[in-house]
Structure 1
């Protein structure tokens, strides 16, 4: 299970920590244990002066298909979703080091919304961004209901978060969700090179500039908590249970 998230220091790019999804047989769907590993890595980076930036990567053709639906179904049937997802989101928001992400292929659910917390995102031409929350009888998460309208305006945010429309890499770039689009074979190289450039900058000045650009974290944390209350309630609903069961029968 721990092998589903690979955490390593880049040998070619000093100061860059890599967090890599490694569950390609499930399109990198995220389990509770995977959230724990990523949270640990983000907190370790904050505590380690040698780590100057973190890069998120997936596998060929898939960044992440989002939260593992089996965990949602288990919660809908009376279990608990646990605290792991929220802990990961708090770690993302509170990260003291720059966050860069590289997307090739599918980016679904939190596989899309987590980029709203990254400072720079590079995506391949074949990438697809989608948040089918409402289709699963759920609601937005990761403070996306706050951040997406700020980033892309009401109509694009509504199209993504409520209507569940697909966004191509070009759509995502035009909406301001990502920074650059490239060929599939260039994603990892450009992502790590970008992270390395940030890692090489004066750390204190970059931290201050990043904090000024990102603004206060308190409002974002409050929205994460508000969304989580609605999300948890919806998980227990009949419409969500039916949606998960239909998904698992595919």
Structure 2
């Protein structure tokens, strides 16, 4: 199943994971969540892999959560049926992103919506195509932020820019992402992946033990904050879906 929805390329001690659902703008359904999480977990345990690089196929990075599956989740909540925030796949991927012990990079080749934005806050280095852009659609959909973005985006971008992204749901251009500290630099679309892989290869050539220790030292101070934010976001999401008006807003956006 992994080969159907994510392409795995191992080269120069770098594992590149290419989201591969072009018919759905690379949106994450349960299969893609679990395939990416599984490939990252394998990379974490493989001494031959030092860096993981995330990107999308075609002109889109990822449209975020698959709205058809999200609609089913929302209807289950509205009907009072048990359902987790984002399902098992979403939770599994967020846990892997949070705990990934090696350098994690992203090459944002096109639009990143929802998870296509929030996962970047878990990455150590982000490069974006010059015409790529990002969107946090949560308030427009009547739901709460996800993947610890309520904590990590203010940390990365500053409160004002994060508030604009999360509350107003404004698009963030590639240049704005760089200025805000969410991305390192922009690249022409045609050279993005080559440039990102070159930087990943440079990092991967360093001693693995040193890379892992450095990543741990950089992220450890915020680990408890990330986990508490994920818990708060999950509770807020569930509470909003129990509210009939909020649930109705979400369902109207998904239908």
TM-score, normalised via structure 1 length: 0.93
Q: Using the alignment, how far apart are the partners of 1:248 and 1:226 within structure 2?
A: 24
Contact kept? 1:76, 1:236, Cα under 8 Å = no
Shift of 1:236: 4.0
Contact kept? 1:4, 1:22, Cα under 8 Å = yes
The structure 2 residue matched to 1:232, chosen from 219, 235, 238, is 238
Shift of 1:204: 1.6
**Alignment match, 1:136:** 141
Shift of 1:244: 4.0
- Aligned to 2:87, the other structure's residue is in SS state coil
Matched, 1:5 2:10: no
Matched, 1:88 2:93: yes
How many residues matched?
246
Shift of 1:193: 1.2
Task: Return 194-203 or 108-117, whichever deviates more.
Answer: 194-203
Q: Using the alignment, how far apart are the partners of 1:192 and 1:239 within structure 2?
A: 46
**Alignment match, 1:36:** 34
Contact kept? 1:77, 1:236, Cα under 8 Å = no
The structure 2 residue matched to 1:110, chosen from 100, 112, 115, is 115
Matched, 1:193 2:209: no
**Alignment match, 2:50:** 52
- Aligned to 2:107, the other structure's residue is in SS state strand
The within-5 A match list for 1:164-179 is 164-179=169-184
Q: Using the alignment, how far apart are the partners of 1:36 and 1:239 within structure 2?
A: 32
Matched, 1:64 2:70: no
Q: Using the alignment, how far apart are the partners of 1:60 and 1:219 within structure 2?
A: 35
**Alignment match, 2:18:** 20
Contact kept? 1:76, 1:237, Cα under 8 Å = no
Task: Return 121-130 or 219-228, whichever deviates more.
Answer: 219-228
Contact kept? 1:69, 1:244, Cα under 8 Å = no
Contact kept? 1:126, 1:168, Cα under 8 Å = yes
Structure with greater proportional helix content = 2
Matched, 1:218 2:219: no
Instruction: Assess, with a 3 A threshold, how the Cα gap between structure 1 residues 74 and 237 changes in structure 2: closer, same or farther.
Output: farther
**Alignment match, 1:209:** 214
Instruction: Assess, with a 3 A threshold, how the Cα gap between structure 1 residues 138 and 248 changes in structure 2: closer, same or farther.
Output: closer
CA RMSD, aligned part only? 1.5
TM-score, normalised via structure 2 length: 0.91
